[in-house]
Amino acid sequence: MAHVLVVGGAGYIGSHMVLALDQAGHRVTVLDDLSSGHREAVLAGRLIEGSLGDGQLLDGLLASDPPDAVMHFAAFIEVGESVRDPGKYYRNNFAATQVLLDAMRRHGVDAFIFSSTAAIFGEPRSVPIDEAHPKGPINPYGRSKWMVEQLLEDYDRAYGLRAVALRYFNAAGADPEGRVGERHDPETHLIPLVLQAASGRRESITVFGEDYDTPDGTCIRDYIHVVDLCQAHLLALDALLDGAPSARYNLGNGAGYSVREVIDTARRVTGREIPQRLGSRRPGDPARLVADSRRITAELGWSPRYGDLEDILRHAWVWERHMAGV
Ligand code: UFG
């Protein structure tokens, strides 16, 4: 059993991680400033309200109850917003993360698990995307994450701080028991928006472009169940606690689904109509993003339990019905 500090544990993926750690028998402390997370989403462990960029707060926390490892989910994630307000992204996603890592160094905490993203690859040159694919983020969000990955390499080399960077493709789904789920405000992600159109909280779903070079003309993404993401974190944690070196892994199902397939599957799963409109392309959307996750399977034994899009949508639908009260 380990003590894990979960930064951003009140957010979408963080709140699922807190449950997974608790279930696995670990002790959890959550640090979250609740700027986009929700107090009631923290269903295990102790919640400390504060920022990862507050070095003094971190000193107190790491001195009084030092964790064995730190997991970091506290990032802003909206690509469009990062273009309009890059300062917010570099400040929080990069600079505040450095404050956290420096505090870990001061207190001798040397195991870190970082939520990275497919956005570090930019427009893909080949698909599926493996770890060696060239990095070329095309927006401040992706750049802020790639900068942290580079900093982590330097911190390992110089200070021996070991880190696993997990590059999520499209995180989706919810706790199968419906205890927590996705709750962004504003919501920009396809699956929750489609389900909001199914529940009646939204009039329709707009498809951003039907003229991509894909079989049905809509963009293809690799949706990965949040519970499978958490499982990858647990494996990375075990590896780091066993003394494994730093690593970087791409995390997806390896299966791509188009926007239209997502909407059609959601109609089947929910039994609802889901009105659909056609909109123009959203700037910066690559036609196809699919992960090659063979490295984490080979090295850590990870394999997705909910690889099926139907499972992802069924669990997300349990949560949406709860949110919508239908
Ligand atoms: N889409 C629509 N209509 C909508 C919302 C989305 O058609 O109302 C489409 C998008 O154009 C895209 C697909 O659905 O083709 C998925 O879009 P999401 O916004 O759900 O997810 P992204 O693929 O844009 O983003 C994900 C992560 C980001 C990360 C990015 C990496 O959520 O954090 O992958 O490219 F930066």
Task: Determine the average pLDDT of the residues in 60-74.
Answer: 98
Ligand 1 pocket mutation, candidates 12, 201, 202, 259, criterion most atoms within 8 A of CB: 259
Q: What's the structural domain count of the chain? A: 2
Tokens of 54: 């507050």
Dist. CA 189 → ligand 1 center (Å): 6
Q: What is the pLDDT of residue 205?
A: 98
Model pTM score: 0.97
Task: Determine the average pLDDT of the residues in 270-283.
Answer: 96
Q: What is the pLDDT of residue 75?
A: 97
- Does position 284 have pLDDT exceeding 90, yes or no? no
Whether residue 139 sits in one domain with residue 162: yes
d(CA 312, CA 175): 10
Q: What is the pLDDT of residue 43?
A: 98
Task: Determine the average pLDDT of the residues in 153-170.
Answer: 98
Whether residue 116 sits in one domain with residue 103: yes
**In a domain? residue 240:** yes
Q: Residue 113's beta-bridge partner residues?
A: 71, 164
Atom number, ligand 1, closest to the C-alpha of residue 191: 20
Task: Determine the average pLDDT of the residues in 172-190.
Answer: 95
Atom number, ligand 1, closest to the C-alpha of residue 169: 34
Cα dist. 286→126, 133, 254, 281 in Å? 12, 15, 16, 10
Q: Residue 220's beta-bridge partner residues?
A: 258, 288
Q: What is the pLDDT of residue 82?
A: 95
**In a domain? residue 204:** yes
Range of the domain at 84: 3-170+224-251
Task: Determine the average pLDDT of the residues in 243-272.
Answer: 97
Whether residue 151 sits in one domain with residue 94: yes
Which CATH number characterizes residue 210's domain? 3.90.25.10
The reply to whether 89 belongs to the active site is no
Whether residue 274 sits in one domain with residue 240: no
Tokens of 218: 């809509």
**In a domain? residue 72:** yes
- Is residue 259 in contact with ligand 1, taking CB distance under 6 Å? yes
- Does position 214 have pLDDT exceeding 90, yes or no? yes
Provide the mean pLDDT of the chain.
Answer: 97
- The protein residue whose alpha carbon is closest to atom 12 in ligand 1 is 219
- Is residue 102 in contact with ligand 1, taking CB distance under 6 Å? no
**In a domain? residue 185:** no
Comparing 271 with 254, which gets the higher pLDDT?
271
Whether residue 165 sits in one domain with residue 120: yes
Whether residue 195 sits in one domain with residue 77: no
**In a domain? residue 180:** no
Q: What is the pLDDT of residue 191?
A: 98
pLDDT > 90 in the chain, percent:
98
Which CATH number characterizes residue 79's domain? 3.40.50.720
pLDDT > 70 in the chain, percent:
100
Dist. CA 64 → ligand 1 center (Å): 41
Q: What is the pLDDT of residue 41?
A: 98
- CA angle, corner 207, sides to 127 and 192, nearest 5? 85
d(CA 110, CA 20): 22
**In a domain? residue 320:** yes
Atom number, ligand 1, closest to the C-alpha of residue 219: 15
Q: What is the pLDDT of residue 155?
A: 98
Q: For residue 291, what is the DSSP state?
A: B
Q: What is the pLDDT of residue 39?
A: 98
Task: Determine the average pLDDT of the residues in 45-53.
Answer: 98
Give the pLDDT band of residue 116 (cuts 50, 70, 90): very high
